[in-house]
Amino acid sequence: MAFEHKQNSGSLFTNSKKDKDTQPDYTGTINIEGTLYQISAWNNEAKSGKKYFGLKVTLPLKREERPGSQKVSEEDLPF
């Protein structure tokens, strides 16, 4: 059984796959009123020197929409 967030809560984890500065420093999921969203966060610094997190929240991609994933039909299964 996969972990499920309680309603209106979420979690962020360090992005261990970060290769470029444009990729988020943290990624995770958040449950808003029963809908699961992807959340990304970047460490930023304002011109004043004050540090803050920049956030982006998106609906998660369906498996067949993810880059590099293939949609499998019942006809493709060997059994």
**The pLDDT value given to residue 44:** 96
Number of independent structural domains in the chain: 1
Tell me the pLDDT band of 31, cut-offs 50, 70 and 90. very high
Tell me the pLDDT band of 47, cut-offs 50, 70 and 90. very high
Compute the distance between CA of residue 44 and CA of residue 54 in angstroms, rounded to an integer: 6
75 domain-assigned = no
Which tens digit of pLDDT belongs to each residue from 34-43?
Answer: 899 999 999 9
- What's the pTM? 0.71
What integer is the mean pLDDT of 18-30?
95
What is the extent of the structural domain holding 26? 1-61
35 domain-assigned = yes
50 domain-assigned = yes
42 domain-assigned = yes
Q: Would the pLDDT of 5 be above 90?
A: no
